[in-house]
Amino acid sequence: FDQMNGEIWFDGKFIPFADAKIHVLTHGLHYASAVFEGERAYSGHVFKLEAHTERLINSARILDFEIPFTADEINAATNELLKREKLTEAYVRPIAWRGSEALGVSAQQNKIHIAIAVWEWPSYFKPEEKLKGIRLDIAEYRRPDPRTIPCKAKAAGLYMICTLSKHAAEHKGYADAVMLDWEGNVAEATGANIFFVKDGAVHTPTPHCFLDGITRRTVIGLARARGIEVIERAIAPEELEGFEECFLTGTAAEVTPVSEVGPYHFKPGRISEQLMHDYEACVRAAGAAAIAAE
Ligand code: PMP
C-alpha cells in the first residue's frame, strides 16, 4: 500500500496515499480502539453506503467514542473520493481510531481520527467458477459469548481470532473457516455470514454473537421475495450432515457457494445459484439507480 498512488481522505482532507500515516504510539494500534467498515462500490457507488456508515458510527459509540464527522459528511467524502480516484468497481475501507496523545488503557482525551481508503476491486462475476464452491475448515477458536465482547461493533480487536482461524485454515489448504459460537453452534466464517439449504428452505444462525451482515440482511430479503422460507435459528454442527447446499454472504464474498465444511459436503445447487444471481442483479440495479439519480 505504501507504493500506491492516489489519495486517502484523512480527518477531513484528501491527502496523498503514501502520506496517510499514524504514530507508532497510536492507542488504536496498542489497545484496538479502532472500528472499520468493508464496503464495495459498483458503477461508482457504494452498495448500501448509508447502512455501512451508520454501522461505523454505531461501532465507534459501542467502543465509547464519537466520530467527529456526521454520517452525511462521511458519505459525501466517500462519494467524492471515488470520483477523484475515478473508480467504479472498488473496495472502500473507512476506519476510525483513538490517536496518540496518551498511551494507557484509559485514553479518554485522545483525539478521534477517521480515514477512508479506496482501491480498485473488480467484481468478476463468474457463476461457473463460483458454483464449484469453496472448502471451509471448522475453526478452533469460537465466537465469544456476547457478554464478554461488544459483538455488535465491527471492531478491529474482534478480528484477532478471525485472522488466526483463517491462517490456520489456509495452512491446511482450505479457503476459510467456519467459527462455532461459545455454545458450540455454527456462527459464521471469519469475514462472512453463513447459510444452509434443506428441502427448499434456507437456514441461517441467529446473529446473537456476530455481525448481522448487511449482505446477510439483503440476501434474506431476496430469498423471501422469491417465496423461499428463511429460518434464523441455532444450528448445531452435527446438523450440517443433513443440509444440501451452503453459501456465505458478505460485502467481499457477495454470495459464495460452499462445497465443504470440515467433514460435511454440499453440492451448490438451485437456491445458491438463484441467490447469487439475485444479489448480483440487486447490486447492479442499485448502482444504475444511483447513477440515474445523479
Ligand atoms: N461477519 C464478519 C466477521 C465480517 O467481517 C463480515 C464482513 N463485514 C460479515 C460477517 C458480513 O458483513 P457484511 O455483509 O455487512 O459485509
For residue 282, the number of C-alpha atoms closer than 13 Å in the C-beta half-sphere is 21
Q: Is 154 a catalytic residue?
A: yes
Work out which ligand 1 atom sits closest to the CA atom of 250. Answer: 14
CATH class for the domain made up of 127-284:
alpha beta
Helices 49-62 and 214-225 meet at what angle, rounded to 10? Answer: 140
Do the domains 7-120 and 127-284 sit in the same CATH topology, yes or no?
Answer: no
Mutate to test the pocket of ligand 1, among 166, 211, 251 (most ligand atoms within 8 A of CB): 211
CA of 177 to the centre of ligand 1 (A): 14
Q: How far is the CA of 99 from the centre of ligand 1 (A)?
A: 25
Q: What does the pLDDT average to over 103-120?
A: 96
Predicted confidence (pLDDT) at residue 143 exceeds the cutoff of 70: yes
Cβ of 255 closer than 6 Å to ligand 1, yes or no, is: no
Q: E strands of the chain, at which residues? A: 7-10, 13-16, 34-36, 39-42, 45-46, 90-98, 112-120, 134-138, 176-180, 186-189, 193-198, 201-205, 230-233, 245-250, 254-261, 264-265
Is the confidence at residue 146, as pLDDT, over 80?
yes
**141 C-beta neighbours (distance < 10 Å), count:** 15
Confidence band (pLDDT; 50, 70, 90) for 79? very high
Compute the average pLDDT of residues 130-153.
97
pLDDT confidence tier of residue 127, bands split at 50, 70 and 90:
confident
What's the pLDDT at 44? 95
Determine the pLDDT at residue 5.
87
CB of 177 shorter than 6 A to ligand 1: no
Ligand 1 neighbourhood includes 216 CB (under 6 angstroms): yes
Distance 292 CA to ligand 1 centre (A): 28
Give domain limits for the chain. 7-120, 127-284
Give me the interface pTM, i.e. the ipTM.
0.99
Q: What is the whole-number distance in angstroms between the Cα of residue 187 and the centre of ligand 1?
A: 12
**Nearest protein CA to atom 2 of ligand 1, as residue:** 191
Q: What is the pLDDT of residues 19-74, one digit of tens each?
A: 999 999 999 999 999 999 999 999 999 999 999 999 999 999 999 999 999 999 99
Output the pLDDT for position 1: 74
Asked whether 193 lines ligand 1 (CB < 6 A), one says: yes
User: Cα(141) to centroid of ligand 1, in Å?
Assistant: 17
CATH classification code of 7-120: 3.30.470.10
Catalytic residue among 126, 154, 198, 267: 154
| Burial of 46: CB neighbours in 10 Å, binned 0-12, 13-18, 19+ | buried
**CA 53 to centroid of ligand 1, rounded, Å:** 14
Q: How confident is the model at residue 126 (pLDDT cuts 50, 70, 90)?
A: confident
Mean pLDDT score, 129-151: 97
Q: Express each pLDDT in 181-200 by its tens digit.
A: 999 999 999 999 999 999 99
What is the pLDDT at residue 294?
Answer: 86
The answer, yes or no, to whether any atom of ligand 1 lies below 6 A from the CB of 44, is no
State if residue 214 touches ligand 1 by the CB under 6 angstroms criterion: yes
User: Where residue 4 falls among pLDDT bands split at 50, 70, 90?
Assistant: confident
> What pLDDT does 123 receive?
77
pLDDT given at position 19: 94
Q: Which of 158, 159, 193 to mutate to test the pocket of ligand 1 (most atoms within 8 A of CB)?
A: 193
Give the model confidence (pLDDT) of 223-271 as tens digits: 999 999 999 999 999 999 999 999 999 999 999 999 999 999 999 999 9
Is the minimum distance from the CB of 174 to ligand 1 under 6 angstroms?
no
Judge if the beta carbon of residue 268 lies within 6 A of ligand 1: no
Other Cβ atoms within 10 Å of 71 Cβ, number = 15
Name the CA radius of gyration of the chain, rounded.
19
pLDDT value at residue 2: 66
